[in-house]
Amino acid sequence: MIREPAVSGMFYPSDREKLNEMVDYFIENALSKVEEKKYRGIIVPHAGYIFSGRTQGFSYTAEIPERAIIFGVNHHAQGAPVSLFGEGKWRVPNGILDCDSEIYKVLMKESDVFALDPHAHLEEHSIEVQLPFLIRRNPQVLITPISIYDYRVEIIREIGRAISKILFKFPNTILIASSDFSHYVPDEVARKKDHIAIAKILESDAEGLWEVVEGNNITMCGLGPVGALLFSLGKAKASELFYETSATASQDYSNVVGYASIVFE
């Protein structure tokens, strides 16, 4: 099965050359400020590139190893609550990436929290927009897309338990959590609330992240993907590389979305 792009020409350019130029610009800009490093996990936004591409570039200063597990938001709540794509390929304008048939089969045996449901992925953008960056960093990377809309902490903890076992079996794997932060609030509110959540992420405190997101009404769409990464990695050393809001591009400071690049060593 080949998964065709759903948001090409909307979230990013549909022209191969223009897309490569844009992605390379964001990565090179970030590499002029931070060094390329090997990380165990990254948090990266998933908006249109004109808004979040610069932040994405910072996350993709990470070396991309042989395998990548991508936790995505299922904005449409289509299909199974925790959906694996399974075998096949994902196409975007600048290339095609193969899905990792080994990891998905191990996950299906490891926990019944996962369902094989490629249809849950067909209209969703949160994983798709990561692929042009991955292709420019390592066009041979094998991907395991996981789409999530059940954010109950016990479900996300179980995902993390299963993934932590995968990391022992397949150590040359990076975890990618696709998440934007505050949505449609004033810029100063987004920055304040987002850094309450980011503080818990930097402490690798998954349970605490749920508490502050719910307690402070932080409209973070990727709580599930970020939580899955935190539960998978345990107490990994985390750093915030970059943060900005959509106001940088839109100049509208009254109604913004927040974006953060966070990496885990």
Contacts of 73 (CB under 8 A, 6+ apart): 46, 124, 126, 147, 148, 149, 178, 179, 221, 222, 224, 225
CA atoms within 13 A on the CB side of 121: 30
> For residues 92 and 239, what is the distance between their CA atoms, to the nearest angstrom?
30
For the residues 224-247, what does the mean pLDDT come to?
97
pLDDT on residue 43: 98
The residue count for the chain: 265
Mean pLDDT score of the chain, rounded to an integer?
97
The 3-class SS string of 42-107 reads EEECCCCHHHHHHHHHHHCCECCCCEEEEEEECCCCCCCCEEECCCCEEEECCEEEEECHHHHHHH
- For residues 225 and 178, the answer to whether their CB atoms sit within 8 Å is yes
Residue 123 DSSP label: T
> For residues 257 and 84, what is the distance between their CA atoms, to the nearest angstrom?
28
pLDDT in tens, 163-213: 999 999 999 999 999 999 999 999 999 999 999 999 999 999 999 999 999
pLDDT in tens, 31-83: 999 999 999 999 999 999 999 999 999 999 999 999 999 999 999 999 999 99
> For residues 178 and 223, what is the distance between their CA atoms, to the nearest angstrom?
9
β partners of residue 84: 116, 146
